[in-house]
Amino acid sequence: MDNPDARRHLPAGKQIRLSRIFGAVNRRALVVPLDHSVTIGPLGRAGHADQTAAILERAGADALIVHKGRARTITPTRFGSMSLIVHLSAGTNLAVDETRKVLVGSVEECLALGADAVSVHVNVGSPGESRQLADLGLVAAACDRLGVPLLAMMYARGGADTAPTSVATLAHLGAIATDLGADIVKLDYAGSPHQMDEVVETCPLPILVAGGPATATDDDAIGFGMRVAESKVAGLSFGRLIFGADHPHAVATALAERLHRDSDPSRPLAAALELA
């Protein structure tokens, strides 16, 4: 990042809430999305979200992402040491256009649930790109007004024939998130720590790397997370690699410990929180 002071103007409300998510000494976070059930159906029995939240809290995860209704099924005390991020985008795999996402909640609703942040999903290059970009801008404005951090989940899907995990494409997605007002961006992995560092150099926002589909073994999931952690990204956003693991607690614990182990105050988030 060329200008480490570029994000020092963040309002106090956003700084406080970001410090809860990136609360480790080195400002790196393990964020676990559990919002998949709107898209693909139940992830387990009725109480699975609360059970998973309990596992993640014990493992040292920093934040959990769920939809607003699912948040009501989780014991509030789970969020004593773990942040709540409420997801505002929805779409299902039953739709004609599976890439279409619509807003299904408001920032005010999320605050009423005790959320530390909200998230929005954008499929760039999809038929619904323009609507999703507009929604990202609208949510960003509400977040600025209310002092709530916004996580933009940015993916290159559909449309133009682009390499969705190339450095150029990921850097473009990071630029979109930055320009439209996000505070954190979630991106796919570029393929190597060096390539991911190239993306980090173009983006003033803290970057979380997506986990993607479940791997064959827990060791594969941990190994992937360890490789990503060698880059300068601000953390991991691993969902299926954790809740779909044979031993979710072991995977989450290993990844959380790795992310929190070393310190690099030059990372974008440290600058954002004036902690550099």
Q: Provide mean pLDDT across the span 168-186.
A: 98
Please name every residue paired with 237 in a beta bridge, in sequence order, or none if there are none. 31, 210
Tokens representing residue 20 in the block: 């809860």
pLDDT at residue 212, as a whole number? 84
pLDDT band at residue 9, thresholds of 50, 70 and 90?
A: confident
> Look-up: residue for tokens 């998973």?
52
Residue with tokens 């969705």: 164
Q: Is residue 147 part of a domain?
A: yes
Give me the sign of the Cα torsion angle 123, 127, 130, 135.
negative
**Mean pLDDT over the full length of the chain:** 91
Q: What pLDDT score was predicted for residue 214? A: 83
Q: Which CATH number characterizes residue 158's domain?
A: 3.20.20.70
- With respect to residue 1, please indicate whether it lies within any of the assigned structural domains: no
And the tokens for 236? 């991991």
Phi and psi at residue 88, to the nearest 5°: -105, -5
Question: Which structural domain range is residue 94 located in?
Answer: 23-261+269-273
For residue 70, which of 47, 91, 92 has the smallest C-alpha distance? 47
Q: Are strands 102-103 and 89-90 parallel, antiparallel or unpaired?
A: antiparallel
User: Does 258 score more than 50 pLDDT?
Assistant: yes
pLDDT bin (cut points 50, 70, 90) of residue 10 is confident
Which has more confidence, 138 or 2?
138
Of 2-11, 110-119, 203-212, the least confident: 2-11
Q: Is residue 12 assigned to a domain?
A: no
Number of domain units in the chain: 1
Q: Do β-strands 63-66 and 184-187 pair in parallel, antiparallel, or remain unpaired?
A: unpaired
- pLDDT above 90: residue 257: yes
Domain assignment present for residue 10? The answer is no
The answer to whether residue 16 sits within a structural domain is no
Q: pLDDT grade, residue 275 (50/70/90)?
A: very low
Q: Which residues are catalytic?
A: 155, 186
- Six-digit token string for 34: 């559990």
Please give the pLDDT value at position 6.
46
Average pLDDT over residues 89-117: 96
Is 144 part of a structural domain of the chain?
Answer: yes
Residue 251 lies in a domain: yes
pLDDT at residue 58 greater than cutoff 80: yes
Cα 215 from Cα 130, distance rounded (Å): 33
Q: Give the 3-state secondary structure of 151-201.
A: EEEEEECCCCCCCCCCHHHHHHHHHHHHHCCCCEEEECCCCCHHHHHHHHH
Residue 146 lies in a domain: yes
Which residues, other chains included, contact 8 with Cβ-Cβ below 8 Å and sequence gap of 6+?
271, 272, 274
pTM for the model: 0.91
Do the Cβ atoms of 67 and 246 come closer than 8 Å? Answer: no
pLDDT attached to residue 22? 95
By the 8 A CB rule, do 221 and 246 touch? no
Distance CA(45)–CA(186), nearest Å, equals 28
Q: How much is the pLDDT for 160?
A: 58
What pLDDT, on a 0 to 100 scale, did the predictor assign at position 267?
46
276 has pLDDT over 60 = no
| 227: pLDDT strictly greater than 80 | yes
Q: Which helix (H) or strand (E) holds 63?
A: strand 63-66
What's residue 159's pLDDT? 62
What pLDDT, on a 0 to 100 scale, did the predictor assign at position 161? 59
